[in-house]
Amino acid sequence: MPRIRLVPHGAARPHRHTRIVIVAAAHSITYFQAIVIGLIQGITELFPISSLGHAVILPKLFGWDLNQKEPYFLAFLVATHLATALVLLIFFIREWVRIIKGLGRSLRDRQIGAAHPDARLAWLLLVGTIPAGLLGLLFEHPLRKLFANPSAAAVFLIVNGLILFGAEWLRRRAPGAEERADELERRPEEETDEDAEKRLATLGWKEAVGVGAAQAAALFPGISRSGVTMGGSLFVGLTHEDAARYAFLLATPIIGAAALLKLPDLFGSTGNGVRGPALAGALCAGVAAWFSVRFLMRYFETNRLTPFAVYCVIAGLVSLIIFAV
């Protein structure tokens, strides 16, 4: 919305008429910027390299006059987050159908039977969602207001890389690491989604709470939600493929609920001037997210977090050097 300022006409002659000067709002986002940020958002939301960190750092590197702390920019990001959540829901729709049916069956029978892994997985996801949701409601606004600047995001991006390195290091030295590697080699080449869900359902309740709470670290720009979730999942004994699946399943309700909670901002006065670019950005984010999740689920069948850790550390250091010049 434009700002209206009253300016005296002729300061030396106080009885002159007052004229109205309309000062255009400095905040806006072009369609080109929206498309670029949308594509980046769709990739970095799922890759363990922090979408918020890139949304803060890259506009600064590109020389774009965007204020990441302003409500209009956050309203724009709501649209891209919602698109990402919808893509995750569609990609894992068969899993979600089984999970929701399992939850309904569990509520009807008032038990979580070992013979029904879908029901147990549903409750594990619910237990993991609660701490992340509560911490997000309490601390998201103050943390983003405090740290949503390029230099802080670059520092946290380096921290994110160190977290990924640490997760891989701890996984290799965790009790039972060799046994899990042998079990992975003995798995059949053709596995079903139900097989993966059965393994996820073996997580303990404490592990589910811990992994869920770790998502709150993503409130710091530069810390990746999928990265800390995968890191925590690896630490409690999951394989990379199962950790990625669990991270994406756990992220779907968190990202979706947060976007829906803030959606009124996009359609209120805050969203004036950004709704068109937000739609373009959301479409690009959705397309990028679809290809990203397909790639990552195949990538983590045989690969690790290490390349993403290297990228985060280098990108963070290079960004800090550029900002300091």
Of 259, 281, 254, 220, the closest CA to residue 78 belongs to 259
Q: How many CA atoms lie within 13 A of 109 on its CB side?
A: 13
Q: Which residues of 262-291 are buried (b: 16+ CB within 10 A; e: fewer)?
A: bbebbeeebbebbeebbbbbbbbbbebbbe
Check pLDDT > 80 for residue 146: no
Kindly tell me if the per-residue pLDDT of 245 is higher than 80. yes
User: What's the full length of the chain, in residues?
Assistant: 325
What are the pLDDT digits (tens) for 76-131?
Answer: 888 999 999 999 999 999 999 999 999 998 998 888 866 688 999 999 999 999 98
- Tell me the three state secondary structure of residue 151: helix
| Burial class of residue 179 in the structure, from the number of CB atoms within 10 Å of its CB (0-12 exposed, 13-18 middle, 19+ buried) | exposed
User: How far is Cα 45 from Cα 292, in angstroms, rounded to an integer?
Assistant: 9
Q: Could you read off the pLDDT of 119-134 as tens digits, one per residue?
A: 999 999 999 999 888 8
pLDDT tens digits for range 155-202:
999 999 999 999 999 988 876 655 655 565 456 566 777 788 888 998
Euclidean distance between CA atoms 216 and 297, whole angstroms: 23
- Terminal alpha carbon distance of the chain: 35
Token pair 């991006």 in the structure block, residue: 157
Could you give the angle at the alpha carbon of 239 between the alpha carbons of 235 and 244, nearest 5°? 90
Q: Is residue 273 within 8 Å of residue 28, measured between CB atoms?
A: yes
Report how far residue 176's alpha carbon sits from residue 196's, in angstroms, rounded to the nearest whole number: 19
pLDDT band at 7 (very low <50, low <70, confident <90, very high): very low
Residue 229: how many other CB atoms lie within 10 Å: 28
- pTM, two decimal places: 0.85
217, 206, 246, 248: which is closest to 136 by C-alpha? 217
Quickly state the pLDDT bin for 4 (edges 50, 70, 90). Answer: very low
Which pair of tokens denotes residue 79?
């649209």
Of 41-45, 194-198, 256-260, 293-297, give the lowest mean pLDDT range: 194-198
